[in-house]
Amino acid sequence: MISASEFRNGVTIEYDGDIYTIIEFQHVKPGKGAAFVRTKLKNLISGGTTEKTFRPSEKMPRAHIDRKDMQYLYNDGELYYFMDVETYDQMTVNKSDVGNNLDFVKENETVKILSHNGNIFGIEPPLFVELAVVETEPGFKGDTATGAVKPAKLETGVSVNVPLFVNEGEILKIDTRTGEYLGRV
């Protein structure tokens, strides 16, 4: 159990039957009345954020989140297949639980499977990936507008905006959190 006076950024709690992580917190002591803790919480299952206030003495259970390294094998449309890198056990995850977190992940790459009490609720891809450009328009000589971008389709099928000088076949470094082009490899 954790009391509201012990809240810190990144702590995960169970509240109203859901799992939340604390994004922001603020201990408020008004001139009149009792002190309280104002928080901004992110629901780890639905992804939504909410703001709640708690009395400092309120207690709630701390949620333990398991992060397990798994190798992404393949998908068949509705199911995604993963393999435990230590025991070689395979497991499947529904498309609804994956969301768009695997847009930048190639087959046979390692991801983290997030679970709470054995229930999988999310997948964390690596922070940065290297992917090849399979389709993009060629850049034109002399077209050097500052900050100009063009769409490029990557080997996983997702499109990102890249500078005009990027050509097909090049390997790019991509930030999976934002989907931004970071540079050529």
Domain ranges of the chain: 2-60, 66-124, 128-184
Residues near 157 by Cβ (< 8 Å), separated by ≥ 6?
Answer: 103
Domain 2-60 class, CATH top level? mainly beta
Mind listing the pLDDT tens digit for each residue in 109-150? 999 988 888 888 788 888 898 889 999 888 666 666 667 788
Which long-range contacts link 125-128 to residues 24+ away (Cβ below 8 Å)?
125/101, 125/176, 126/176, 127/175, 127/176, 127/177, 128/173, 128/174, 128/175, 128/176, 128/182
Residue 166 has pLDDT above 70, yes or no: yes
pLDDT at 51 over 90: yes
- The pTM assigned to this predicted structure is 0.71
Fold agreement between 2-60 and 66-124: no
CATH 3.60.15.10 describes domain 66-124:
no
Taking the C-alpha atoms of residue 35 and residue 151, their distance in angstroms, rounded to an integer, is: 52
Pick the CATH number of 128-184 from 3.40.50.2000, 2.40.400.10, 2.40.50.140, 3.60.21.10: 2.40.50.140
